[in-house]
């Protein structure tokens, strides 16, 4: 119980991509880039194992951005038609490609990455993909004419990919849906339905990561406008409790999310953000443990998976490594408290 995992991403080595940058350009090309990405995955896995993380990811070392990794594998998208749009309700601008025809997988998208990850560790593995609504919000549409229709089409592509990943031995598939905290009406109208379609019929465990974003300035400014308590989850959690998704990843470290809201998640797994990714200050194991203990007042240990608040790709590598160690050590502290006293001297 209290198995640890991370939201998904880790910083990339400086020889692979520009550090501390989202959408960072690669510093290698061609075969050297392929080899560099594989080496970076092995390092990311080793960092997690050495820290004591139980369910590991490839640190998203093979993708430039958490949305593009999947979208680049689809046909129906014109990358020469780049337009600048405001995403996440215009919180920031991004230059995005345009959907010009039916979206379909060209073939396997993350299969090779999943095989490498599976071969790199004996621990349970997790692969992340962007959720349908977050892709819709990070792309321009000139074909479907409705966000819901595009979302449904993307969900079908995600489901095909997810079935393939599960067959390759992936233990957990997580869909990242930061857009779920922005478009509450759309979550109700089509977001949950698309999420359910994306994870339909999967043999592995599933989760959705909802969040208030990386620790970049636009997000920190936005969080400042959300008031003393962040209650967005109050609307989405009851819907998720009735959905097909297996677990929910949310930020609880240094966040204004009232932790009691996890009671609204029914019997879902809770990937409990106990490490803040918006600061270089490294948590102590005691601070991590305090967040876990607080959550234990509202959900049983069997359903709690201590985790990071969000992806760590914008952090310095040594900071991220130290935070991994704090996460594992904090969870170990609480596990020791919960272990049956029987058998002790
Ligand atoms: Zn996040």
C-alpha 248 – ligand 1 centre gap (Å):
12
- Taking only the tens place, the pLDDT of each residue in 208-260 is 999 876 666 777 777 777 777 777 788 899 999 999 999 999 999 988 888 99
C-alpha 73 – ligand 1 centre gap (Å):
22
What is the rounded CA–CA span in Å between residue 168 and residue 164? 6
C-alpha 67 – ligand 1 centre gap (Å):
12
Report the run of H or E that residue 193 belongs to, with start and end.
helix 192-198
C-alpha 310 – ligand 1 centre gap (Å):
4
Q: Which domains does the chain have, with CATH numbers?
A: 30-338 (3.20.20.210)
C-alpha 68 – ligand 1 centre gap (Å):
15
HSE-CB at 118 with a 13 A cutoff on CA atoms is 14
C-alpha 7 – ligand 1 centre gap (Å):
7
Q: Number of helices and strands (H, E) in the chain?
A: 11, 9
What is the rounded CA–CA span in Å between residue 182 and residue 137? 10
C-alpha 343 – ligand 1 centre gap (Å):
41
Q: Which of 42, 173, 193 is nearest to 111 (CA)?
A: 173
**Strands of the chain, DSSP E:** 74-87, 92-105, 126-130, 140-141, 172-176, 205-209, 247-251, 269-275, 304-308
pLDDT along the chain (345 residues), means of 10: 96 93 89 97 98 98 90 96 87 91 97 97 98 96 98 98 98 96 93 98 96 73 76 90 97 88 96 94 97 97 97 95 98 93 50
Residues 6+ apart with CB under 8 A from 112: none
How many CB atoms are located within 10 Å of the residue 101 CB? 12
Determine the pLDDT at residue 344: 52
Determine the pLDDT at residue 52: 98
C-alpha 312 – ligand 1 centre gap (Å):
9
C-alpha 15 – ligand 1 centre gap (Å):
25
C-alpha 66 – ligand 1 centre gap (Å):
10
Do residues 308 and 330 make contact, with C-beta atoms less than 8 angstroms apart? no
| Per-position DSSP letters for 229-275, written without gaps between them | S--THHHHHHHHHTSS--EEEEE-TT----GGGGGGGTT-EEEEEEE
Determine the pLDDT at residue 245: 98
Determine the pLDDT at residue 329: 98
C-alpha 344 – ligand 1 centre gap (Å):
40
The pTM score is 0.94
If 0-12 CB within 10 Å is exposed, 13-18 middle and 19+ buried, where does residue 64 land? middle
Please tell me whether residue 90 adopts helix, strand or coil conformation: coil
Q: What is the largest CA-CA distance in the chain?
A: 69
Do residues 162 and 199 make contact, with C-beta atoms less than 8 angstroms apart? yes
Determine the pLDDT at residue 121: 98
What tokens does 41 get?
Answer: 């995955």
C-alpha 182 – ligand 1 centre gap (Å):
13
C-alpha 220 – ligand 1 centre gap (Å):
13
């Amino acid at each position: 119980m209290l198995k640890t995992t991370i939201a998904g991403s880790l910083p990339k080595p400086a020889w692979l991509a520009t550090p501390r940058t989202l959408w960072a350009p690669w510093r290698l090309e061609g075969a050297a880039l392929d080899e560099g990405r594989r080496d970076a995955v092995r390092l990311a896995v080793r960092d997690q194992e050495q820290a004591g993380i139980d369910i590991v990811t490839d640190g998203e070392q093979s993708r430039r951005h958490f949305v593009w990794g999947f979208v680049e594998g689809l046909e129906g998208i014109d990358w020469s038609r780049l337009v600048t749009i405001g995403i996440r309700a215009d919180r920031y601008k991004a230059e995005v490609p345009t959907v010009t025809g039916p979206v379909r997988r060209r073939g396997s998208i993350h299969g090779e990455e999943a095989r490498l990850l599976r071969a790199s560790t004996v621990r349970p593995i997790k692969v992340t993909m962007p959720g349908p609504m977050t892709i819709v919000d990070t792309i321009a549409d000139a074909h479907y004419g409705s966000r819901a229709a595009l979302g449904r089409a993307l969900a079908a592509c995600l489901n095909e990919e997810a079935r393939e990943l599960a067959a390759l031995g992936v233990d957990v598939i997580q869909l990242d849906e930061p857009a779920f905290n922005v478009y509450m009406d759309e979550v109700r109208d089509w977001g949950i339905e698309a999420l359910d379609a994306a994870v339909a019929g999967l043999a592995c465990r599933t989760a959705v990561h909802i969040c208030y974003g990386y620790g970049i300035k636009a997000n920190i400014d936005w969080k400042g406008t959300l008031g003393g308590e962040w209650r967005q989850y109050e609307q989405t959690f009851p819907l998720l409790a009735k959905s097909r998704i297996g677990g929910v990843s949310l930020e609880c470290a240094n966040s204004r999310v009232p932790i009691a809201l996890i009671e609204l998640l029914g019997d879902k797994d809770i990937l409990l953000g106990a490490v803040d990714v918006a600061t270089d200050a490294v948590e102590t194991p005691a601070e991590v443990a305090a967040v876990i203990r607080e959550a234990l007042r509202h959900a049983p240990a069997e359903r709690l998976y201590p985790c990071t608040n969000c992806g760590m790709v914008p952090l310095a590598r040594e900071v991220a490594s130290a935070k991994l160690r704090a996460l594992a050590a904090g969870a170990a502290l609480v596990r020791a408290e919960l272990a049956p006293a029987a058998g002790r001297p």
